[in-house]
């Protein structure tokens, strides 16, 4: 089968990673690179593909089989609509759009022409996330009761030298927590309400640097999250998952899932249960076992899936509507923290 031709729209940090993965793939090849920064032309030349400043021109002249959108979030709707209206299947980086209305507009436009739209919540493709979903779904810990998650790191002070990161929307909730929210929706079910306390007392910026969050899920599951990007801590996905070489890594866990018959620690995948149901209780010893799968690169798996989506072999694992619901739950955290009230989410 011929290799698919993929255009990368946006050559920042994430766009460059997509370029590397497409170049290394057996399923696809680079069709074009587009970025507003002229310096990216040298990057395109390195890979021997055309460079464009204008996304519309890139789509029209390169005529790719698919497009990956890695431009700033405020441009997601505009560029994704350009792809949809040209009938080009699209992978748009998270979040799907800057606002819920923009995200829903993309979903409606894509559905209206029968075009697949994939949102780049790539963690769903990680073997450990997939195994976690399978174990919980298969009842390995019995009926799910709750989850507790930590996302606590120390971002270097220079990170906030970029002015937009100090202002509304530039903090760790929309930048980082959106990944955790998507994972929890995937594992635990739909989030029905959010209650959050947020603080900016450590750094003193407009954006939050800490949050404590209570979640309610459909079916009575409850959850909690502590979030901070201002504390030296090993307890986060980035540091415990060994996924991104940009971060220092430690062995440990950042999330715990509790069921009526056992508990799971993530990402070590330690499963804790009583050896006998008739001797279940805190006076008896628990037994543990490891359920960790072989690791694989989730971005490579996401790209392979995107190629199958383009060919019509699979439906998007993370659809546009999934992206909208994850964005809604994440924005609810900020709304709850700002207004000091619970926020209900109107999803079935």
> Are the beta carbons of 235 and 254 closer than 8 angstroms?
yes
Residue closest to 186 by CA, chosen among 113, 257, 111, 239: 257
What is the pLDDT, as a whole number, of residue 55?
97
* 245-253 mean pLDDT: 90
Percentage of residues in the chain having pLDDT higher than 70: 99
- Tell me what pLDDT residue 265 has: 98
277 pLDDT above the threshold of 90:
no
What does the pLDDT look like over 2-50, one tens digit per residue?
999 999 999 998 999 999 999 999 999 999 999 999 899 999 999 999 9
If you classify domain 124-296+328-344 with CATH, what class do you get? alpha beta
Rounded CA-CA distance 217/345 in Å is 10
Distances (CA, A) of 294 to 77, 268, 269, 271, 330: 37, 12, 12, 17, 30
Distance between CA 97 and CA 107 in Å, rounded?
Answer: 11
The per-residue pLDDT for 196 is 98
Phi, psi angle pair for 273, to nearest 5°: -150, 160
Instruction: Tell me the CA distances in angstroms from 159 to 93, 163, 284, one per residue in order.
Output: 21, 9, 48
Per-domain boundaries in the chain: 4-115, 124-296+328-344
In this predicted structure, what is the pLDDT of residue 42?
A: 96
CATH architecture of the domain with range 4-115: 3-Layer(aba) Sandwich (3.40)
pLDDT at 326: 98
The whole-number pLDDT of residue 242 equals: 87
Share of the chain above pLDDT 90, in %: 93
How high is the mean pLDDT of the chain?
96
Beta strands in 2-161 (DSSP E): 4-9, 28-34, 51-52, 66-69, 90-93, 117-120, 144-152
Indicate if the pLDDT at residue 319 is higher than 90: yes
Report the pLDDT value the prediction gives residue 122, as an integer from 0 to 100: 97
The residue-averaged pLDDT of 288-317 equals: 97
Is 70 exceeded by the pLDDT of residue 285? yes
Average pLDDT value for residue range 187-213:
97
Within 10 Å of residue 251's Cβ, how many Cβ atoms? 10
Q: Are 185 and 318 in contact (CB under 8 A)?
A: no
pLDDT at 89: 98
3-state secondary structure 68-114: EECCCHHHHHHHHHHHHHCCCCEEEECCCCCCHHHHHHHHHHHHHCC
Residues 208/224, Cβ–Cβ less than 8 Å: no
pLDDT of residue 255: 98
For the chain, the straight-line distance linking the first and the last C-alpha, in angstroms and rounded, comes to 41
Predicted local confidence at residue 95, as pLDDT: 95
pLDDT tens for 123-182 read 999 999 999 999 999 999 999 999 999 999 999 999 999 898 998 888 999 999 999 999
275 contacts 154 by C-beta, under 8 angstroms: no
119: left (phi over 0), alpha (psi -120 to 50) or beta: beta
- pLDDT of amino acid 1: 64
pLDDT at 257 over 90: yes
What size, in residues, is the chain?
A: 348
Whose tokens are 């309610």? That residue is 216
Enumerate the β-bridge partners of residue 264: 257, 271
């Amino acid at each position: 089968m011929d290799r698919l031709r993929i255009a990368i729209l946006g050559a920042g940090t994430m766009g460059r990673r997509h370029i590397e993965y497409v170049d290394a793939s057996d399923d696809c090849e680079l069709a074009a690179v587009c970025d507003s920064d002229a310096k990216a032309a040298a990057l395109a030349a390195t890979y021997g593909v055309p460079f464009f400043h204008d996304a519309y021109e890139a789509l029209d002249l390169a005529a790719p089989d698919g497009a990956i959108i890695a431009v700033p979030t405020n441009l997601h709707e505009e560029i994704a609509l350009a792809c949809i209206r040209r009938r080009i299947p699209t992978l748009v980086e998270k979040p799907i759009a800057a606002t819920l209305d923009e995200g829903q507009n993309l979903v409606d436009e894509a559905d209206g022409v029968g075009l697949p739209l994939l949102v780049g919540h790539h963690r769903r493709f990680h073997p450990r996330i997939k195994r976690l979903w399978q174990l919980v779904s298969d009842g390995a810990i019995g009926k799910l009761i709750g989850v507790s998650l930590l996302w606590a790191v120390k971002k270097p002070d220079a990170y906030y030298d970029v002015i937009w990161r100090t202002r509304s929307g530039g903090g760790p909730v929309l930048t980082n927590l959106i990944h955790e929210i998507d994972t929890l929706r995937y594992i635990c079910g739909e989030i029905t309400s959010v209650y959050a306390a947020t603080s900016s007392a450590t750094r003193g910026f407009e954006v939050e640097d800490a949050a404590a969050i209570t979640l309610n899920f459909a079916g009575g599951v409850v959850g909690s999250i502590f979030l901070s990007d201002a504390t030296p801590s090993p307890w986060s996905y980035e540091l415990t998952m060994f996924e991104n070489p940009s971060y220092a890594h430690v062995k440990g866990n950042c999330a715990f899932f509790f069921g009526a018959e056992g508990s799971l620690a993530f990402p070590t995948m330690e499963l804790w249960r009583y050896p006998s149901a008739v001797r279940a209780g805190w006076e008896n010893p628990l037994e543990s076992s490891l359920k960790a799968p072989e690791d694989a690169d989730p971005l490579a798996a996401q790209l392979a899936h995107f190629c199958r989506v383009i060919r019509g072999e699979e439906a998007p694992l993370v659809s546009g509507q999934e992206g909208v619901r994850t964005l809604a739950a994440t924005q609810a955290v900020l709304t709850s923290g700002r207004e000091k009230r619970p926020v209900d989410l109107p999803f079935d």
